[in-house]
């Protein structure tokens, strides 16, 4: 689909990757860019229309779909990462928050906007996933589970919306240089680069973006995950547990 002249809605548009998406959409000539955020006053990008939205709020998601009935491109970007292990976490609160935001929030938005996209000729949905959709890292274990679930839903939504001509794009990346990865001391891709790759994919009708070397390596290694992916992750985790990492 063409970005030029489209009407797009980006969730979590107030900072990080969502802000870069909104800016890139304006740059590419989108006729309308809705910047959805829990605090709409924090959406200050020129050319972006602020919209109040918490993706965990079902009533508000339905209201936004009714209010933004011209949308042809939905970018499900809002996400949370609690850096929580499966076994060591004190309780299930982090795992539930991540699942409620990253999985149910994305599913809720896909369901709310599917009829809007159908009415507007098909359009596209972009779901921002992660390299951790493909494998588990104990450092953000329950986040990975929520992104694996969101990967599954992305593949399913693509099948279910094929009949109405909706392009459904999965975006996977390792570390992106935003608040979410602020404490990570490792190579990071810029949010601007991710935004450019994603909208290039949308314009070329491509269904998957592997935005960096890490996500390309991990996806290519899946059939040998226990030989290629997990041994170094285990080694790193064991060293961290012993306090030598």
Residue 7 pairs with which residues in a beta bridge? 32
User: Shortest gap between Cβ of 65 and ligand NAP (angstroms)?
Assistant: 15
User: Shortest gap between Cβ of 63 and ligand NAP (angstroms)?
Assistant: 14
- By the criterion CB under 6 A, which residues form the site for ligand NAP? 11-12, 14-18, 37-39, 53-56, 77-81, 101, 105, 128, 130, 173, 175-176, 178-181
Judged by beta carbon, residue 185 or residue 227, the one nearer ligand NAP is: 185
Residues 6+ apart with CB under 8 A from 124: 1, 72, 73, 74, 117, 166, 167, 168, 169, 202
Q: Say whether 143 is catalytic.
A: yes
Judged by beta carbon, residue 106 or residue 166, the one nearer ligand NAP is: 106
Judged by beta carbon, residue 31 or residue 92, the one nearer ligand NAP is: 92
User: Shortest gap between Cβ of 113 and ligand NAP (angstroms)?
Assistant: 15
The one catalytic residue in 21, 34, 103, 143 is 143
Q: Answer for the pair 186, 140: CB distance below 8 angstroms, yes or no.
A: no
User: Shortest gap between Cβ of 56 and ligand NAP (angstroms)?
Assistant: 5
Q: Is residue 174 exposed (0-12), middle (13-18) or buried (19+ Cβ within 10 Å)?
A: buried
Closest alpha carbon to 74 in 161, 136, 188, 175: 161
Distance between CA atoms of residues 96 and 102, nearest Å: 10
Closest alpha carbon to 191 in 23, 46, 42, 41: 23
Judged by beta carbon, residue 186 or residue 244, the one nearer ligand NAP is: 186
Residues designated as active site:
143
């Amino acid at each position: 689909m063409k970005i030029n002249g489209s009407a797009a809605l980006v969730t979590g548009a107030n900072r990080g990757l969502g802000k870069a998406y909104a800016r890139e959409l304006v740059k590419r000539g989108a006729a309308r860019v809705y910047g959805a955020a829990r605090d709409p006053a924090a959406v200050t990008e020129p050319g972006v229309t602020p919209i109040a939205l918490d993706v965990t709020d079902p009533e508000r998601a339905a209201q936004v779909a009714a209010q933004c009935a011209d949308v042809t491109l939905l970018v499900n970007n809002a996400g949370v990462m609690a850096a929580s292990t499966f076994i060591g976490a004190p309780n299930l609160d982090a795992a539930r928050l991540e699942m409620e935001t990253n999985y149910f929030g994305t599913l809720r938005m896909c369901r709310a906007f599917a009829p809007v996209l159908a009415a507007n000729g098909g359009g596209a949905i972009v779901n921002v996933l992660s390299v951790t959709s493909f494998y588990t890292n104990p450092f953000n274990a329950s986040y990975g589970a929520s992104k694996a679930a969101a990967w599954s839903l992305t593949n399913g939504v693509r099948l279910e919306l094929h009949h109405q001509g909706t392009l459904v794009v999965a975006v996977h990346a390792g570390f992106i240089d935003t608040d979410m990865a602020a404490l990570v001391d490792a190579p990071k891709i810029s949010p601007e680069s991710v935004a450019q790759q994603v909208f290039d994919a949308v314009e070329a009708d491509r269904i998957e973006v592997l935005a960096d070397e890490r996500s390309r390596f991990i996806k290519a290694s899946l059939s040998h995950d226990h030989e290629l992916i997990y041994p170094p992750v285990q080694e790193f985790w064991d060293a961290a547990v012993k306090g030598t990492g």
